[in-house]
Amino acid sequence: MGSYLNPGNAAFQGSLRSQIYIDKSGLIEKMNMLLGTEQKYVCVSRPRRFGKSMAANMLSAYYDRDCDTREIFDKLKISQSEGYLEHLNQYDVLKINMQDFLSGTHSVDEMLERFSKYLRFDLLDKYVNIRFRDENDLVQVMKDVYANTHYPFIILIDEWDCLFREYEQDKESQKKYLDFLRFWLKDKDYIALAYMTGILPIKKYGSHSALNMFMEYSMTDPGELAEFFGFTEEEVKGLCEEYAMNFEEVKAWYDGYDLISHSRFGDKRYSIYSPKSVVEAMLRHKFGTYWNRTETYEALKIYIQMNMDGLKDSVIQMLAGEGVRINTGTFINDMTTFATKDDVLTLLVHLGYLTYNSETEKVTIPNKEVSQEYINAISTMDWHEVMRSVENSRKLLEALWNQDAKAVAAGIENVHDEISILQYHDENSLSCTIHLAFYFAREYYTIIRELPTGKGFADICMIPRKIYADKPAVIIELKWDKSAEGAIAQIKEKKYVKSLEDYKGNLLLAGINYDKKTKTHTCVIEKVEL
CA 392, chain centre distance (Å):
29
Distance from C-alpha of 504 to C-alpha of 223, rounded to nearest angstrom: 45
pLDDT at 109: 96
Query: How does DSSP classify residue 18?
Result: S
Contacts of 234 (CB under 8 A, 6+ apart): none
pTM over 0.85: yes
pLDDT, one tens digit per residue, over 16-75 is 999 999 999 999 999 999 999 999 999 999 999 999 999 999 999 999 999 999 999 999
How far, in Å, CA of 51 to CA of 257, rounded?
15
Decide if pLDDT at 249 tops 60.
Answer: yes
Close Cβ partners of 482 (under 8 Å, ≥ 6 residues apart): 513
pLDDT of residue 454: 61
Q: Where are the extended beta strands (E) located within 423-506?
A: 445-453, 456-464, 473-480
Give the other-Cβ count within 10 Å of 309's Cβ.
15
Q: Which of 155-159, 382-386, 520-524 has the lowest mean pLDDT?
A: 382-386
Q: Looking at the predicted structure, is the pLDDT value of residue 295 above 80?
A: no
pLDDT of residue 1: 76
Of the chain, the percentage scoring pLDDT greater than 70 comes to 95
Confidence of residue 341 (pLDDT cuts 50, 70, 90): very high
Q: How confident is the model at residue 128 (pLDDT cuts 50, 70, 90)?
A: very high
Q: Please name the amino acid found at residue 45.
A: S
- At 392, which amino acid appears? N
C-alpha span between 82 and 220 (Å, rounded):
30
Angle separating helix axes 384-401 and 427-437, nearest 10 degrees: 80
